[in-house]
């Protein structure tokens, strides 16, 4: 029996704000959307157009308070082919929340406070 990664899910308060962030910050594009018949939720799957892995954003109509991210030890990680350009973009966006120059990586945060690790393609 074999398993392969399919997607990760995060819940978001403002779907449009999150979609704009993931498009601008990481170049992710919508690949699929499911809207509940009663409007109680929307699922949007985002992809990088290079791999089959997806990020599922879940918006819940009746959820109104920020999500409790605990100690925020969970994170996504992305590699980039142009680390300096990515760093400049994220600095301009004001979303860099932690840098470790010695390790050659940094983290950005999305509108809901989820951390995303950014790594150079070649380390």
- The pLDDT-based confidence of 90 (bands split at 50, 70, 90) is very high
Evaluate if residue 31 carries a pLDDT over 70.
yes
As given in the structure block, the two tokens for residue 3 are 């398993």
Taking the C-alpha atoms of residue 115 and residue 106, their distance in angstroms, rounded to an integer, is: 10
> Mean per-residue pLDDT for 48-77?
93
Evaluate if residue 111 carries a pLDDT over 90.
yes
> Mean per-residue pLDDT for 66-83?
91
Q: What count of residues does the chain have?
A: 123
Q: Measured in Å, how far apart are the chain's first and last C-alpha atoms?
A: 32
pTM of the model: 0.93
Q: Give the homologous superfamily in CATH for domain 7-62+74-120.
A: 2,3-Dihydroxybiphenyl 1,2-Dioxygenase, domain 1 (3.10.180.10)
């Amino acid at each position: 029996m074999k398993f392969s990664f399919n997607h990760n899910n995060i819940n978001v308060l403002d779907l449009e704000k999150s979609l704009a962030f993931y498009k601008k910050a990481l170049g992710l594009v919508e690949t699929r959307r499911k809207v509940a018949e009663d409007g109680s939720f929307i699922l949007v799957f985002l992809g990088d157009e290079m791999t089959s892995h997806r990020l599922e954003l879940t918006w819940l109509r009746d959820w109104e308070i920020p999500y409790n991210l605990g100690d925020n030890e969970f994170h996504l990680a992305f590699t980039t082919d142009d680390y300096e350009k990515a760093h400049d973009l994220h600095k301009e966006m004001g979303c860099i929340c932690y840098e470790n120059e010695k390790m050659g990586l940094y983290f950005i945060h999305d509108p809901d406070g989820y951390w995303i690790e950014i790594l150079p393609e070649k380390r």
